[in-house]
Amino acid sequence: MNQKKQVLILCTGNSCRSIMAEAMLNAKLGDCLEAQSSGVKASGKVNPHAQALL
């Protein structure tokens, strides 16, 4: 049985860098891992520049 590794990307606001890293890891390595992102003071909003790139 081959289980996917789980990766958590943690940052302060979870509005830009961690969301981008999550998306890139899932896009490139989604067959072998599952990435999620979170923030210690999550804003609940995605940075508009990051949103445009995603």
pLDDT of residue 43: 83
Question: What does pTM read for this prediction?
Answer: 0.84
In sequence order, the β-bridge partners of residue 35 are 7
**Would you state the pLDDT for residue 1?**
59
Residue 35: the pLDDT is 98
At residue 13, what is the residue type? G
Say whether 31 sits in a helix, a strand or coil.
coil
Domains of the chain in start order, with CATH, are 5-53 (3.40.50.2300)
**Are 54 and 21 within 8 A, CB to CB?**
no
Query: 1-53, pLDDT tens digit by residue?
Result: 579 999 999 999 999 999 999 999 999 999 999 999 999 998 889 999 989 98
Task: Identify the CA nearest to 48 among candidates 20, 25, 24, 27.
Answer: 20
d(CA 43, CA 25): 22
